Amino acid sequence: MGSQIDFSKFDDRMAQFGYRRSSLCRNIWRHCGNGSHLNLEVRTMRPLIIFSVVYGKHIDWMNRALVRSLAWPENKAALQHPNTKWFIWGDLETTQSIYEIATKVLPFNQIILKQKRLENNKGGVDLLGMMLETQRHCLLEKVPMFTAPPDTVFSEGSVKAMMDYAEYPGTCVAVPHPRCLPTIMDDLTDRPPTNPQLVNLALKKHVHDAWKTCDVSSLVSGIHVGGIAWNRLNEHTWAVQHRLPTIYIANFTDDDRKFFHKPFKGVAPQYGMWDHEWPGSEVIPKERQRTIGSSDIAFIAECTEYHKNIPTQRLTNPEERDAFHRNELHNHVNRQYVSCFRGE
């Protein structure tokens, strides 16, 4: 047993961020003596609310992409806090199917199916309403929201990594991700691939045109519209600029709630504000964003049908190959960072 230590400074520091030391944390801390060997498991033992919207074909995709990856051992372990909840929005007719799929990750009593028909999804109006209801619960319970789309694959260990960087009030964790073809789901099994193996699947074997068209060396590219500019350093490594890395874990503030309830520059609120306006207005200026730019830490791939979301191509300006058509603050800040996607 390690020597007894004075907890006063530790308690004061934790109090700054709204935490109270639990008996579990106290026992682990004392066992470690000065805390130098304190395991990161303590940091990730926090509840959150998972937010998913699942309709139509995405029920199958949820099973083969999202849940397949969240059920990998490390990802699943990171979600096992007894107060974690999964809000899944779907149709009444799909209730049984969704429960059967989701219980591969969380117990039945932690899954909350929100039944709603899509009626006005032009501009993401319905999606915004679903997110706002989930956000309301996050603010009431003082827990972060984890956005988990059914078409998305999270590399093994990525959930824990994101949660580690979302530990302080207000912080939001963003990860740049590529699109890939849905055929990647055929290569996913209960045994998780390594992060480099998943990079290979997404960027080589099942590469989507949305990614292929954003090569900075191309005379014609989709960079100006797509917001992604990549350069292949060698056979297995890509250097990536991403103007719109997605925020996957958000610790909301009341200012966030107010932002999503009012028009932005004369445009009515819609779910697209999540990527295109909110980060530049409420997150980046307040130093809340934590971006994970290494695929070795977290790699995320979004399954997309082969004919969708391909950015319009135009002649590449040789003097500004990474030019982007949007002009929000976060677009400019994110431009200044280069991420690394490493395959094998």
Under-70 pLDDT residues of the chain: 1-44, 92, 120-123
Are residues 155 and 213 part of one domain?
A: yes
Total number of domains constituting the chain: 2
As a whole number of angstroms, the distance between CA 49 and CA 55 comes to 19
Tell me whether residue 286 is in a domain.
Answer: yes
Same domain, 83 and 121: yes
Q: What is the pLDDT of residue 122?
A: 64
Q: Which pLDDT score is estimated for 93?
A: 75
User: Residues 79, 190: one domain?
Assistant: yes
Residues 173 and 96 in one domain: yes
Answer whether residue 44 is part of any domain. no
Place of tokens 């997605």: 246
Q: Does residue 170 share a domain with residue 290?
A: yes
For residues 307 and 272, membership in a common domain is answered with: yes
Q: Do residues 16 and 121 both lie within one domain?
A: no
**Residue 3 forms part of a structural domain:** no
What pTM was computed for the model?
0.86
- What CATH code is carried by the domain that includes residue 220? 3.90.550
Structural domain contains residue 147 = yes
Q: How far apart are CA 86 and CA 84, in angstroms?
A: 7
The verdict on residue 313 lying in a domain is yes
Task: Answer whether residue 70 is part of any domain.
Answer: yes
- 87 lies in the same domain as 158: yes
The boundaries of the domain holding residue 29 are 8-39
Pick from 130, 136, 127, 132: nearest CA to 114:
130
Let me know whether 316 and 190 are in one domain. Answer: yes
| Residue 264 falls inside a structural domain | yes
Residues 151 and 19 grouped into a single domain = no
Instruction: Identify whether residues 20 and 100 lie together within a single domain.
Output: no
Whether residue 197 is contained in a domain is answered as yes
Residues 156 and 292 in one domain: yes
